Amino acid sequence: MKTPAADIDPGILERFESFIKEKGLRRTGQRDVIVAAAFSTDSHFTAEDLWEMARKIDPSTSRATLYRTLSLLTESGLLQEIDLGRDQKYYDPNFVEHPNHNHLICLDCGTVIEFSDENMAVIEDCVTRRLGFSSVRKDIRIEARCEEFRTSGHCKRGKK
Amino acid sequence: MKTPAADIDPGILERFESFIKEKGLRRTGQRDVIVAAAFSTDSHFTAEDLWEMARKIDPSTSRATLYRTLSLLTESGLLQEIDLGRDQKYYDPNFVEHPNHNHLICLDCGTVIEFSDENMAVIEDCVTRRLGFSSVRKDIRIEARCEEFRTSGHCKRGKK
DNA sequence: GTTTCTGCAAAGGTTTTGCAACAAA
DNA sequence: TTTGTTGCAAAACCTTTGCAGAAAC
């Protein structure tokens, strides 16, 4: 089996393979292509984006397999579905490296900024515990206006 | 024009009407039906759910009009789209009364709990400001396990 | 009377599925 | 050899849109 995943984090492939094996499934060339595509970037992407990325590695990649593999990736926790407040679902490959990050979306230029904050995490945990639960996963999206844009009419990140 | 919205919060109809008028649009019987349906409950609902609720008031309600009115309601801020981590979009009619609430989803029984926390809101605002933004809107979803369920194998809210 | 709104049916876009050929173990 | 996987095309879903008749103002 060819491994088009040559230059992605070996830890990811390893985690993917052990997840796959645990479920009694098989590691295939096609799945490797899709995993490689998903982790070839640190940008957020849609299913369609990922399909295009995968097809650059292997043009025969079908949408069906893409969606099937996407499910495996989210189920394994390697990829996380995030809500950017847009019409489509987006997937975030950065949770492996930054397990607790959140998203801020700039309403002026559309940029998505990832951030983590220890205090925030602690309070969320307190509140959750006070309600009688223990937190498993969270998805926090803040939509905000850029101060720079407000004062000067533009911001360094450019426009939407 | 009949007003099937007889017993819903008059403040909501008022806000809806002024939003409508400001846009140069018209208040219609059909829109009133859909607004009445949306605010006849404090549960979260999908577009399909809302269609069914509206059809109980007026069986001729079409999906097309439902979707068109749903856009107006979210645009006006009366209804908010929320991400419950499920496959469909959900709409929350409770932001009029509780403008800053968040959602906790119980992974054991599926219940959605609304909560607000002042400390949480303050920290979020600090973090946002530190990044150079001013917060406009946020959507926070916490998925968690119920302590009661963990210790006793069931919880008072019943099961999924 | 003019402009917007409505329901219908058709179209659009995204995701899933049945199936026969193919590949992994 | 057995069982899981793939691509294709079709189906399933959810949402939007063009249009002609109806309703608001």
In a domain, B107, yes or no: yes
Beta bridge partners of A146: B133
pLDDT given for residue B160 in this prediction: 41
Covered bases, chain D (protein CB within 7 Å): 4-9, 14-18, 23-25
H-helix segments, chain B: 10-22, 29-38, 47-57, 63-76, 118-130, 147-152
Distance between the alpha carbon (CA) of B156 and the C1' atom of C7, Å: 45
Which residue is closest, via its CA, to the C1' of D25? B26
Same domain, B54 and B115: no
Spatial distance between the Cα atoms of B40 and B49, rounded to a whole number of angstroms: 12
Q: According to the 3-state scheme, what is the secondary structure of chain A?
A: CCCCCCCCCHHHHHHHHHHHHHCCCCCCHHHHHHHHHHCCCCCCECHHHHHHHHHHHCCCCCHHHHHHHHHHHHHCCCCEEECCCCCCCEEEHHHCCCCCCEEEEECCCCCEEEECCHHHHHHHHHHHHHCCEEEEEEEEEEEEEEHHHHHHCCCCCCCC
Same domain, B106 and B84: no
Closest CA to A35 of A74, A64, A86: A74
Closest CA to A39 of A80, A83, A67: A80
In a domain, B160, yes or no: no
B64 is near strand C: CB distance < 7 Å: yes
Measure in Å the smallest separation between the Cα of A1 and chain B Cα atoms: 35
Same domain, A83 and A141: no
pLDDT given for residue B96 in this prediction: 95
Q: Which of residues 12-71 of A touch strand D (CB under 7 A)?
A: 20, 24-26, 28-31, 58, 60-65, 68-69
Among B108, B131, B133, most A C-beta atoms within 10 A, so best to mutate, is B133
Could you say which residues from 80 to 119 on chain A have a Cβ atom under 8 Å away from some Cβ of chain B? 81, 83, 85, 104, 106-107, 113, 115, 117, 119
Same domain, A59 and A24: yes
Q: Do A145 and B123 touch (CB under 8 A)?
A: no
Spatial distance between the Cα atoms of A11 and A15, rounded to a whole number of angstroms: 6
Same domain, B8 and B63: yes
pLDDT 10s digits, B22-35:
999 999 999 999 99
Same domain, B19 and B42: yes
Cβ atoms of B146 and B106 within 8 Å: the answer is yes
- Residue ranges of chain A with pLDDT lower than 50? 1-3, 5, 159-160
Spatial distance between the Cα atoms of A30 and A11, rounded to a whole number of angstroms: 19
* Contacts A–B by Cβ distance under 8 A: 105
- Residue ranges of chain B with pLDDT lower than 50? 1-3, 5, 159-160
Same domain, A118 and A79: no
Same domain, A65 and A125: no
pLDDT given for residue A6 in this prediction: 54
Query: B106 vs A99, A132, A133, B143, CA distance in Å?
Result: 21, 10, 8, 6
Spatial distance between the Cα atoms of B6 and B110, rounded to a whole number of angstroms: 33
Domain count, chain A: 2
Spatial distance between the Cα atoms of A91 and A49, rounded to a whole number of angstroms: 10
Q: What are phi and psi of A110, to 5 degrees?
A: 85, -10
pLDDT 10s digits, A119-149:
999 999 999 999 999 999 999 999 999 988 8
CATH number of the domain to which B109 belongs: 3.30.1490.190
- Among candidate residues A92, A121, A139, the one where a domain is terminated: A92
In a domain, B158, yes or no: no
Same domain, B71 and B123: no
In a domain, A160, yes or no: no
Cβ atoms of A78 and A15 within 8 Å: the answer is yes
DSSP 8-state assignment for residue B144: E
Q: Is the torsion defined by CA of A40, A45, A49, A54 positive or negative?
A: positive
In a domain, B159, yes or no: no
Per the structure block, which two tokens stand in for B71? 């856009």
In a domain, B71, yes or no: yes
Measure in Å the smallest separation between the Cα of B135 and chain A Cα atoms: 4
Beta bridge partners of A140: B140
- Chain A contact present for B132, CB below 8 A: yes
- Among candidate residues A45, A62, A92, the one where a domain is terminated: A92
Spatial distance between the Cα atoms of A58 and A147, rounded to a whole number of angstroms: 44
pLDDT given for residue A160 in this prediction: 41
In a domain, B83, yes or no: yes
**Does residue B67 sit in helix, strand or coil?**
helix
Same domain, A69 and A147: no
Same domain, A23 and A71: yes
In a domain, A139, yes or no: yes
Q: Do B128 and A104 touch (CB under 8 A)?
A: yes
- Among candidate residues B92, B110, B129, the one where a domain is terminated: B92
Same domain, B72 and B34: yes
B89 is near strand D: CB distance < 7 Å: yes
Domain of residue A59 covers 4-92
